[in-house]
């Protein structure tokens, strides 16, 4: 529930603005309070009256409305909320935010606020993929701005691709993750997921078959319990979950740097299938056959062990560090030894022999090993395993 929590909802001017009315309804239903702010362009898509009626509060539209300034100045307005949500965040609004412009009420509030900000971008696919939007997004993420979406699909303009506003329910879930009173609210958890790609040259790489399904399901389950999740993901098959801070990486070295950059955290869960080896001196240009018939010699070097690094941190170690162990034989014995060797608190072990269908499949059968011993859970969907593991993490951090 969002009881007593106030959200400043900035509605940008895009065709998706109508969906923000449904978002207002969801926030109100959960007991949250809302102050909507419409940009001038937004008023062309939804009326201030409908936003005000659904929000049950006054709607603000213009910086230079002196009556409003007398009632509540823009500085106070920007700071009276627990969270500022921008939905839809248009390319224009994102550019203003990234550039620090403040030429209307919405952009001024975003400059003046000291409250966490969550954006839900929505725009034409070409605009989303434009280098300027990418630059702006990188700046906003660097400033710690949270993001939900955009989704991929058919767009009002007749094109297809990423750029659709995330569904109101997904934006609401992301709000709940930040403000809701779940057992993990206020806890920051870092999750790694997916494979890593280790380049051989600009077009070839060494990889593994991890889909990222278990790490993604776990991150989603943690968000549902209210955790603030930083999701460090290699190039996975499945899309990252909604409501997390995504840090996309390719290599193990990048993953380690991203994890270190995301700390401090209350817990860290390492579900990624990190490549053990990288190619030393990867070629900067595509390796060509030289006509001799001899293959190129690849020199491999060991990758950093991210789990062991974090488990063995002398200062700032997360209170709970969880590793995974994919084994094909003697699962419990190997995983128990791995827990001791790496220095983590728990190891979630599973048998990934091809006949189990677990690697790349929808189900998992795990044994959780902690200081007390091993506990084997019945085979279940990766989503259910994630839910149970998230519950155990919540108990441990309580």
Q: Which chain residues interact with ligand C5P by CB under 6 A?
A: 192, 252, 270, 272, 274, 303, 305-307, 323-325, 338
Please give the distance of CA 315 from its chain centroid, rounded to a whole number.
26
Nearest CB to ligand C5P, comparing residues 220 and 325: 325
The greatest distance separating any two alpha carbons of the chain, rounded to the nearest whole angstrom, comes to 82
Closest separation between CB of residue 394 and ligand C5P, Å? 20
C-alpha–C-alpha distance, residues 320 and 309, integer Å: 14
* Structure tokens belonging to residue 169: 């329910």
Nearest CB to ligand C5P, comparing residues 60 and 205: 205
Strand partners, 301: 278
Closest separation between CB of residue 190 and ligand C5P, Å? 11
Nearest CB to ligand C5P, comparing residues 172 and 324: 324
Nearest CB to ligand C5P, comparing residues 339 and 387: 339
* Beta-carbon-side half-sphere exposure of residue 65 (alpha carbons within 13 Å): 17
3-state SS string for 105-131: HHHHHHHHCCCCEEEEECCCHHHHHCH
Nearest CB to ligand C5P, comparing residues 94 and 252: 252
Nearest CB to ligand C5P, comparing residues 220 and 349: 349
Pairing of strands 373-376, 346-351: unpaired
Distance set, CA 223 to CA 62, 184, 188, 268 (Å)? 35, 8, 10, 14
Closest separation between CB of residue 183 and ligand C5P, Å? 23
Closest separation between CB of residue 130 and ligand C5P, Å? 35
Nearest in space to 251 (alpha carbons), one of 271, 230, 279, 231: 279
Stretch (H or E) spanning 315: none
Nearest CB to ligand C5P, comparing residues 60 and 346: 346
Catalytic position from the list 157, 280, 299, 319 = 157
Strand partners, 231: 191, 246
Q: What are phi and psi of 87, to 5 degrees?
A: -150, 120
Nearest in space to 123 (alpha carbons), one of 178, 83, 79, 166: 166
Residue 157 appears among annotated catalytic residues = yes
Alpha helices in the chain (DSSP H): 19-29, 48-55, 66-71, 74-79, 91-99, 105-112, 125-129, 131-142, 168-179, 213-224, 252-262, 306-311, 331-342, 382-397
Nearest CB to ligand C5P, comparing residues 170 and 267: 267
Closest separation between CB of residue 332 and ligand C5P, Å? 14
Identify whether the C-beta of residue 323 lies closer than 8 Å to the C-beta of residue 310. Answer: no
Nearest in space to 178 (alpha carbons), one of 251, 234, 119, 91: 119
Identify whether the C-beta of residue 1 lies closer than 8 Å to the C-beta of residue 30. Answer: yes
Active site residue ranges: 157
């Amino acid at each position: 529930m969002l009881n007593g929590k106030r959200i400043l909802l900035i509605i940008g001017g895009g065709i998706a603005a109508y969906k923000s009315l449904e978002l207002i309804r969801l926030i109100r239903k959960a007991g949250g309070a809302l102050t909507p702010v419409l940009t001038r362009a937004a008023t062309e898509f939804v009326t201030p009256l409908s936003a005000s009626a659904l929000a049950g509060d006054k709607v603000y539209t213009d910086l230079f409305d002196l009556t409003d300034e007398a009632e509540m100045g823009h500085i106070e307005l920007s700071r009276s909320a627990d969270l500022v949500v921008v939905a839809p965040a248009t390319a224009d609004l994102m550019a203003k935010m990234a550039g620090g412009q403040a030429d209307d009420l919405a952009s001024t509030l975003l400059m003046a606020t000291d409250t966490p900000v969550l954006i839900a971008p929505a725009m034409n696919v070409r605009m989303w993929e434009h280098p300027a939007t990418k630059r702006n997004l990188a700046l906003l993420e660097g400033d710690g701005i949270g993001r939900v979406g955009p989704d991929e699909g058919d767009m009002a303009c007749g094109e297809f691709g990423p750029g659709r506003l995330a569904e109101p329910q997904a934006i609401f879930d992301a709000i709940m993750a930040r403000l809701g009173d779940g057992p993990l609210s206020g806890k920051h958890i870092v999750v790694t997921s997916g494979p890593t790609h280790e380049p051989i040259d600009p077009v070839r790489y060494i990889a593994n078959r991890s889909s990222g399904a278990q790490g993604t399901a776990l991150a989603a389950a943690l968000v549902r319990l209210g955790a603030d999740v930083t999701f460090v993901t290699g190039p996975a098959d499945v899309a990252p979950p909604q409501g997390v801070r995504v840090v996309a990486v390719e290599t193990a070295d990048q993953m380690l740097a991203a994890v270190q950059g995301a700390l401090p955290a209350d817990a860290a869960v390492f579900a990624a299938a990190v490549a053990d080896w990288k190619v030393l001196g990867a070629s900067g240009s595509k390796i060509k056959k030289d006509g001799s018939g001899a293959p190129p010699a690849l020199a491999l070097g060991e990758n950093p062990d991210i789990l062991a690094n974090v488990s063995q941190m002398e200062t700032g170690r997360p209170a709970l560090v969880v590793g995974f162990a994919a084994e094909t034989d003697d699962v419990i014995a190997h995983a128990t030894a791995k827990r001791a060797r790496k220095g983590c608190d728990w190891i979630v072990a599973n048998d990934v022999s091809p006949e189990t269908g677990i690697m790349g499949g929808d189900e998992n059968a795990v044994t959780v090993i902690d200081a007390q011993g091993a506990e084997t859970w019945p085979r279940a969907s990766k989503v259910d395993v994630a839910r149970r593991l998230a519950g155990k993490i919540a108990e441990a951090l309580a």
